[in-house]
Chain A
Amino acid sequence: MTNPYTPMLILVALGAGFVIFSVGLAQIVGPKRYNRAKAEAYECGIQPSPQAAEGGRFPIKYYLTAMLFIIFDIEAVFLYPYAVAFDQLGLFTLLAMFLFLLNAFFIADAYVWKRGGFEWD
Chain B
Amino acid sequence: MIAQVVSSGVTSLALDGARENPLADFSDTPLWLTAIKAVGIFAYLLIQVLLVIWFERRVIGRMQQRPGPNRNGPFGLLQSLADGVKSMLKEDVRPKASDAIVFTVAPILFASMAFVAFSIIPLGPDVSMFGYRTPLQLTDLPVAVLLVLAAAGVAAYGVIMAGWASGSTYPMLGGLRSSAQIISYEIAMGLSLVAVFLYAGSMSTSQIVAAQAEQGWFIIAAAFSFVVYVITMVGETNRLPFDLAEGEGEIVGGYFTEYSGMRFAMFFLAEYINMFTVSAIATTLFLGGWQAPPGIAAINDGMFNEGWWGLLWFTLKMWLFMFLFVWLRGTLPRTRYDQFMKFGWKFLIPASLVWIVLVALVRGADAGFFGDSTFGILGRDFPVPVLFILGAALLLMIIGFTLWDRAAERRRAERREESVIDVDPFAGGYPVPPLPGQRLVEPGSARVGRTQTDIHTDASGSGAATAVVVSDKED
- A residues near B (Cβ < 8 Å) are 1-2, 4-8, 10-12, 14-16, 18-20, 22-23, 25-27, 29-33, 38-44, 48-49, 51-53, 55-56, 58, 61-62, 65-66, 68-69, 72-73, 76-77, 79-80, 83-88, 90-91, 94, 97-98, 101, 105-106, 109, 113, 118-121
Contact = CB atoms under 8 A, between A and B. Distances in A.
B357 A98 contact: yes
B16 A42 contact: no
B139 A30 contact: no
Interface of A is mostly: helix
A20 B198 CA distance: 41
A86 to B, nearest CB: 6
Contacts of A27: 92
User: Interface residues of B: mostly helix, strand, loop or mixed?
Assistant: helix
Contacts of B262: 22-23, 25-26, 30
A55 B139 CA distance: 42
B96 A73 contact: no
Interface stretch (B164-172, B407-415, B418-426, B427-435): B164-172
A77 B93 CA distance: 41
Nearest to A73: B187
Given A72-B187, A88-B18, 15 more contacts: A1-B26, A4-B141, A7-B38, A7-B138, A8-B119, A11-B118, A22-B265, A26-B89, A26-B92, A40-B97, A77-B190, A79-B194, A83-B198, A85-B18, A86-B367
A40 B96 contact: yes
B140 A4 contact: yes
Contact of B266 (A10, A23, A98): A23
B72 interface: no
A84 B202 CA distance: 5
Interface of B: 3, 16-18, 26-27, 29, 31, 34-35, 37-39, 41-42, 46, 87-97, 104, 107-108, 111-116, 118-120, 138-141, 146-147, 164, 166-170, 172-173, 176, 179-180, 183-184, 186-187, 190-191, 194, 197-198, 201-203, 252, 257-258, 261-263, 265-266, 269, 337-338, 341-342, 345-346, 349-350, 353, 356-357, 360-361, 363-364, 367, 369-370
B138 A113 contact: no
Contacts of A55: 164, 172
Contacts of B41: 11
Given A7-B38, A7-B138, A65-B180, A41 B112 contact: no
A121 B337 CA distance: 9
A118 B187 contact: no
Nearest to A106: B353
A50 B46 CA distance: 40
A85 B107 CA distance: 39
A43 to B, nearest CB: 6
Contacts of B17: 87-88
A86 B346 contact: no
6 contacts: A4-B26, A12-B112, A61-B180, A77-B146, A94-B364, A101-B357
Contacts of B349: 72, 109
Contact of A86 (B138, B184, B261, B360): B360
A42 B95 contact: yes
A12 B93 contact: no
Contact of B95 (A5, A7, A41, A58): A41
Contact of A41 (B138, B167, B203): B167
